[in-house]
Amino acid sequence: MLRRLIHAAGVVAAEAYQASDEQAGALVERAGQLMFEVGQRATQQGDDLSISAVMTAYMAKLEELSAHRGTIVGVPSGFTDLDRLTGGFRKSDVIVLAARPL
């Protein structure tokens, strides 16, 4: 929820830097709307998950991935060895590819 709040505040700040004095009222309205959406989303999702519930869901996901070991469960990278190691790219992944310069 804090990340969403920081993102919404960043959006408002960026728009404020580019807005004119005549647009200030509309920007205040937009800021209120974004903050309301952050609050609504937090209420809908519920932040009171126990560590037990989180770990149970995570273990189920690990078991599912283990059952598909050796197959690509995500988007293939085009590099066979990398795909075999990672199982492909998934939407929750942060992927950094790096190499030494020649």
What pLDDT does 48 receive? 62
* Burial of residue 52, with CB atoms counted within 10 A of its CB: 0-12 exposed, 13-18 middle, 19 or more buried: exposed
Name the one residue in this structure whose structure tokens are 């690990």.
62
Q: Measuring CA to CA, which residue among 23, 42, 20 is closest to residue 31?
A: 23
Tens digit of pLDDT at every position of the chain (102 positions): 788 888 888 988 998 999 888 889 999 998 999 888 888 876 666 556 678 888 888 888 878 777 766 677 788 888 888 887 777 888 777 878 788 888
Q: How far is the C-alpha of 63 from the C-alpha of 69, rounded, in Å?
A: 10
User: Taking the model in full, what pTM does it have?
Assistant: 0.41
